[in-house]
Amino acid sequence: MSAEDDTAGNEHDLRARIVRVAQAMDQAGFCPTKSGNVSARVGDGLIITPSGLPYAETTPADLVAIALDGRARDEGSRRPSSEWPFHTEIYKARPDVHAIVHTHSPKATALACARRPIPAFHYMVAYCGGRDIRVADYATFGSADLAANAVAALEGRKAALLANHGVIAAGATLEGALAIAGEVENLAGQYLALLAAGLDPVILDDDEMARVAAKFSGYGKVG
């Protein structure tokens, strides 16, 4: 097999994985009314889910390859997700990130709409890359301002809430990014339950969160 054939095969496999992750995200209830998107880094660009196509109907051929400046890299008829600007900006800012999952998962989005970050009330917050899950400042979807705000909120993190919008999870793999998005939703549900009960969560201190992060790193790559 030539190097060119091998590259083509790898891209086909990557497209299939993106579709599987997008459909799993949809089946989990994280993408009402075709919201959210998924991408993976490939070479000096990325492959991303298309705009406006239900995930159940999406095939690998429907995905869109773009450069990091947003230029199309294939001749397909589909347009990339309208959120492609924050995908490209995150990849440019974070060489460690190779996959991005964006959801509108209900509980995490509720906190995002309250512009309420998730503090270290549970040690699993560290799974998302730090001592809390920040909320990115609000900006119109698909805008350069939103992209810049997302990059800032993700500094030193693997997940962030987008004010009045949803969730971004960034990982080393597609499956890792999806797992992080799922954990954000799980944590959001627990945090909302505490708040609804009128209880004050006990927040773990930075030293403990650093110890937890070190333990996670000992298990291998997280996301």
Residues 77-124 have pLDDT tens digits of: 799 999 999 999 999 999 999 999 999 999 999 999 999 999 999 999
What pTM, to 2 d.p., does this model score? 0.93
pLDDT at 190: 98
At 91 the three-state DSSP class reads helix
How many residues are present in the chain?
223
pLDDT at 132: 98
Q: Is the pLDDT of residue 3 over 60?
A: no
- Dist. CA 157–CA 131, nearest whole Å: 9
Write the CB contacts of 11 (distance below 8 Å, at least 6 apart in sequence): 42, 47
- The CATH number that domain 3-218 falls under is 3.40.225.10
Burial of 150 (0-12, 13-18, 19+ CB in 10 A): buried
pLDDT band (50, 70, 90) for residue 9 = low
pLDDT band (50, 70, 90) for residue 219 = low
Q: Is the pLDDT of residue 8 over 60?
A: no
Identify the active-site residue in 57, 75, 83, 185.
83
In the chain, % of residues over pLDDT 90: 87
CA dihedral 124, 126, 131, 133 (to 10 degrees): -70
- Dist. CA 45–CA 40, nearest whole Å: 9
pLDDT tens digit sequence for 170-201: 999 999 999 999 999 999 999 999 999 999 99
**Active site annotation includes 83:** yes
Burial of 2 (0-12, 13-18, 19+ CB in 10 A): exposed
